[in-house]
Amino acid sequence: ESPDVEWIDIGGLDEVKRELQEAVEWPLRYPDLYTKLGHSVPKGILMHGPSGTGKTMLAKAVATESEANFISVKGPELLSKWIGESERGIREIFRRARQAAPCVVFFDEIDSIAPIRGMEGVNAGTERMVSQLLTEMDGIQELNGVVIIAATNRLDMIDSALLRPGRFDKIVFVPKPDISTRLKILEIYAKEKPLTSDVNLQRIAELTDGFSGADMSAVANTAISLVLHEYLQKYSNPEDAAKHASEAHVTMKHFEDAVKKIKTQRDMKPGEKLTLSQYR
Ligand SMILES: Nc1ncnc2c1ncn2[C@@H]1O[C@H](COP(=O)(O)OP(=O)(O)O)[C@@H](O)[C@H]1O
Ligand SMILES: [Mg+2]
């Protein structure tokens, strides 16, 4: 699996990138140096933070930058794919990872497979899966080319046995983007787009307090889709549209309208979103 995400695709989060580089990339790239110096490295890194802050992207990017293979496992998919055979599923993943070393194994949404054991609603399959995960992590040798990364929006839901030394012993918080990060994210998605000179991305970053990285990418996307709608209304046949393609520009008004639109969607409850015809 090719992750296809690089550091430059991720706006801001410099501190998080630096921590991942040190915990994942350096040990994968320079195992001999670490062995020689006797420096211990975390076996597992757990990223947590609100949804849409870039955790999944970061895991992919650090695998790319480490020139490592990447095995990505979504918690919920693991549960459904290996129904009744959860231990075998986990064993299989670790077997593949060892074969593919250097390799990053990424457990996305790990709270769905590793919730606190003994808690109500946690079934026997899930409990066995956690136990198998613990066994596999304990069996991994440091610096043998396999690094485990996990991500969750719900740190409070994670079985504390997973957080003990030798397991997910490095915890990285991925925060909601501050204003400068929001600007950087906008710049990434607005890059090489035809913007009019009145577009002030700094101003858009100011207007989007509380937005996640995913919301920021939705703002840029929505601004562009507003242009498309306008444009195709004006030139309804492909020939006309092609002839006037160079006139299509994204203006400040498109960005401001996009912010309003995303704000409205953010404020809606999940059920209400289903009634929105253009919800994306
Ligand atoms: N820092 C960022 N830079 C660029 N895009 C981002 C950033 N954070 C989030 N995104 C956008 O939001 C989407 C969701 O991000 P994701 O990594 O899945 O978040 P999480 O895993 O934390 O929920 C990404 O696909 C990307 O489009
Ligand atoms: Mg994610």
Ligand 1 mean position, distance from CA 38 (Å): 35
Environment class of 242 (CB within 10 Å of its CB; exposed 0-12, middle 13-18, buried 19+): exposed
Q: How confident is the model at residue 33 (pLDDT cuts 50, 70, 90)?
A: very high
For residue 174, pLDDT over 60 is answered with: yes
Pair 119, 198 in one domain:
no
Give domain status of residue 274, yes or no: no
Q: How many Å lie between the centroid of ligand 2 and the Cα of residue 108?
A: 6
pLDDT number for residue 280:
45
In our burial notation (b when 16+ CB lie closer than 10 A, e otherwise), range 75-95 reads beebbeebeeebbebbbebbe
How far lies 168's CA from each of 124, 192, 207, in Å?
Answer: 22, 40, 37
Among 153, 173, 193, residue at a domain's last position: 173
What's the CA gap between 97 and 80, in Å, rounded?
Answer: 21
pLDDT digits (tens, 9 = 90+) for 75-95: 888 777 777 777 888 999 999
Compute how many other C-beta atoms are within 10 angstroms of the C-beta atom of residue 45: 24
Q: Domain with 222 in it: what CATH number?
A: 1.10.8.60
Q: How far is the CA of 134 from the centre of ligand 1 (A)?
A: 29
Domain match, 38 and 68 both: yes
Best residue among 6, 53, 176 to mutate for probing ligand 1, ranked by most atoms within 8 Å of CB? 53
Asked if the structure places residue 1 within a domain, the reply is no
Distance in angstroms (rounded) separating the CA atoms of residues 85 and 32: 37
The pLDDT assigned to 279 comes to 47
Residues of the domain holding 89 = 7-173
Do both 81 and 190 map to the same domain? no
Task: Assess whether 184 and 128 both reside in one domain.
Answer: no
Residue at which a domain ends, from 158, 173, 188: 173
Which residues are within 8 A (CB) of 35 and not within 5 positions of it... i.e. 6 or more apart? Answer: 143
Q: Is residue 275 part of a domain?
A: no
Same domain, 128 and 257: no
Q: Which of 58-62, 157-161, 190-194 has the lowest mean pLDDT?
A: 157-161
Same domain, 147 and 28: yes
C-alpha distances in Å from residue 126, one per residue of 85, 120, 148, 237? 10, 12, 19, 55
What is the per-residue pLDDT across 106-152, written as a single tens digit (0 to 9) for each? 999 998 887 777 777 667 777 788 888 999 998 888 778 999 999 99
Residue 51 Cα to ligand 2 middle (Å): 7
| Tally of domains in the chain | 2
> How far apart are alpha carbons 109 and 40 in whole angstroms?
27
CA angle 89, 91, 92 (to 5 degrees): 65
The tens digit of pLDDT for each residue in 182-218 reads: 999 999 999 989 999 999 999 999 999 999 999 999 9
CA gap 81, 86 in Å, rounded: 9
The answer to the question of residue 81 being in a domain is: yes
83 and 37, same domain (yes or no)? yes
Structural contact between residues 75 and 110, judged by C-beta atoms closer than 8 angstroms: yes
**In a 3-state reduction of DSSP, which class is residue 250?**
strand
**Which CATH number fits the domain that encloses residue 47?**
3.40.50.300
Q: Do both 142 and 124 map to the same domain? A: yes
Q: Which atom of ligand 1 is nearest to the CA of 177?
A: 1
Q: Kindly state whether residues 241 and 185 are assigned to the same domain.
A: yes
* Same domain, residue pair 141 and 193: no
Residues within 6 Å of ligand 1 by CB: 10-13, 51-57, 151, 185, 188, 213-214, 217
Do residues 158 and 200 share a domain?
no
Q: Are residues 62 and 164 in the same domain?
A: yes
Question: Which atom from ligand 1 is nearest to the alpha carbon of 50?
Answer: 22
Identify whether the C-beta of residue 251 lies closer than 8 Å to the C-beta of residue 198.
yes
